[in-house]
Structure 1
Amino acid sequence: MLTLVAGLVLFLGAHSVRVFAEGWRASMIASVGEKPFKGVYSLVSIAGFVLVVVGYGLARQSPVVMWSQPPVAMRHVAALLTLVAFVLLPAAYVPRNQIRAKLHHPMILGVLVWAIAHLLANNTLADLVLFGSFLAWAVLDYMAARKRDREQALVYRPGTATGTALTVVVGVVVWAVFAFWLHRVLIGVSPLGV
């Protein structure tokens, strides 16, 4: 569990600099330059991600059960929520989509929905630590991002039907690949039981 926690501290810590230390981030970029700062940020994030993957894998070998196994229906709820999360992720990148125009930071909300889905469908301490940490981070990061938007009086361009449709199609296709095949290959669990 220590490896998982260390990975979360590194990964989410690096991704929380704008939440808790925006001034420090700006001064570091000014003093060392944007590319070196992003290089260190990337290395810390990658190291954290590797530790999260290894730590979660180790914790799954000797699971500490926190509550009874959720009902099978929770798998269906989680699948629906992760579908929403997979649509929110490309909404951060597909140009001129209505989802981003309305939500402003859809990727963060996608992480939030993904974390909730996994908390509903899982019952071990490692799940609670991993997905609970991502849920807390997503709430704090979304609040900080919206505050920055207000301070900068940021206006998001309106979306188009084409941009929105492309976002939904990309999200659904990637979700289907992940739900029906890749989750089992990478995580060792088939979320839909297929």
Structure 2
Amino acid sequence: MTWFFVSVVVFMAGHIVPGLLRGAITARIGHTAYIVTFSIMSLFLLGWVIYEVQHADFIALWPYEIWQNHVTLTLMLPACILWAAAIIQPCPLSIGRKKGFDPAHPGINRFTRHPLLLGMMLWGLGHILPNGDLVAFMFFGGATVFAISGFWRMEKIRARHMEDAEYKAILDGTRRFDLMGIAEGAFGWRDIVLGIGLYIVILWAHPHVIGVDPLAAIGG
């Protein structure tokens, strides 16, 4: 379990330190190189954490039931659609594309300014139930808390690079979370199609990458 905690600390440091030094790093290597390097490093560190979760001592907290996997599969579909929206649509106050935002047509930002983080929250919540051991609970629960806290953190980071009037205008026309935004065109057909495609890819890749087949777990 020691290496699990080490991997988590390094993962957190790998996100906090580059964020604090982002200005200096981008000035030296450029914005694109920073994003690519940060993304590769994040995936590597996440893979390390997942490896340690899989190999940590098993300390059961609650028994496994098949219905728990149905919760995971259900929550992962909207999570994938949210991730797709974060890729396709501009998210000026969160992780994702900053350019191209139109205050008159906020899109996904009318439902949530943070589709990637909200999807991560659903991913974390959905994986807590079928993984009823201590380390998995800390990992998925921590990921959920990390995603929620990122709502406020990302807005503060983006605000540093905006004029006050621009920042206020975006805040006024967007929401951290508002279900009414779904009825107001938050999601386009491309978000849904890409999200479903991503969902299918994850279902296919999960047994090969993680070693667990979600469909087999429910008898599919």
TM-score band w.r.t. shorter chain: 0.7 to 0.9
> Shift of residue 64 of structure 1?
1.7
Letter of the aligned partner of 1:137 in structure 2? F
- For 2:202, the equivalent position in structure 1 comes to 178
Residues 99, 162 of structure 1: alpha-carbon distance in 2 compared, 3 angstrom cutoff: closer
Give aligned-pair identity as a percent: 23
1:94 to 65, 84, 88: 88
Structure 2 distance, partners of 1:131, 1:79, is 15
- For 2:49, the equivalent position in structure 1 comes to 52
Residues 51, 154 of structure 1: alpha-carbon distance in 2 compared, 3 angstrom cutoff: farther
Structure 2 distance, partners of 1:42, 1:175, is 21
Superposed CA offset, 1:36-74 (max 9, x none) = 866774575355234213312312xx42212222x3222
Secondary structure of the residue aligned to 2:188 is helix
Residues 40, 10 of structure 1: alpha-carbon distance in 2 compared, 3 angstrom cutoff: farther
Secondary structure of the residue aligned to 1:92 is helix
Secondary structure of the residue aligned to 2:58 is coil
Maintained 8 Å contact 1:88/1:171: yes
Gaps spanning 5+ residues in structure 2: where?
Answer: 91-105, 175-180
Pairs aligned (count): 186
- For 2:102, the equivalent position in structure 1 comes to none
1:132 to 138, 141, 151: 141
> Shift of residue 33 of structure 1?
5.4
TM-score of the two chains, using structure 2 as the length reference: 0.68
Structure 1 distance, partners of 2:35, 2:186, is 33
Maintained 8 Å contact 1:64/1:126: yes
Maintained 8 Å contact 1:92/1:100: no
Q: How do 1:146-161 and structure 2 match up within 5 A? A: 146-147=155-156, 152-153=167-168, 155=170
Secondary structure of the residue aligned to 1:109 is helix
1:115 to 99, 108, 124: 124
Secondary structure of the residue aligned to 1:15 is helix
Structure 2 distance, partners of 1:141, 1:132, is 14
Secondary structure of the residue aligned to 1:121 is coil
Q: Which has the higher helix share?
A: 1
Letter of the aligned partner of 1:10 in structure 2? V
> Shift of residue 176 of structure 1?
2.0
Letter of the aligned partner of 2:200 in structure 1? A
Maintained 8 Å contact 2:25/2:34: yes
Superposed CA offset, 1:93-126 (max 9, x none) = 1137832443111001110110000012210122
Letter of the aligned partner of 1:187 in structure 2? I
Structure 2 distance, partners of 1:42, 1:81, is 24
Indicate the larger mover: 8-17 or 110-119.
Answer: 8-17
Structure 2 distance, partners of 1:94, 1:39, is 18
Maintained 8 Å contact 1:8/1:133: no
Residues 128, 29 of structure 1: alpha-carbon distance in 2 compared, 3 angstrom cutoff: same
Residues 102, 148 of structure 1: alpha-carbon distance in 2 compared, 3 angstrom cutoff: farther
Indicate the larger mover: 120-129 or 81-90.
Answer: 120-129
Maintained 8 Å contact 1:116/1:131: yes
Gaps spanning 5+ residues in structure 1: where?
Answer: none
Structure 2 distance, partners of 1:46, 1:82, is 19
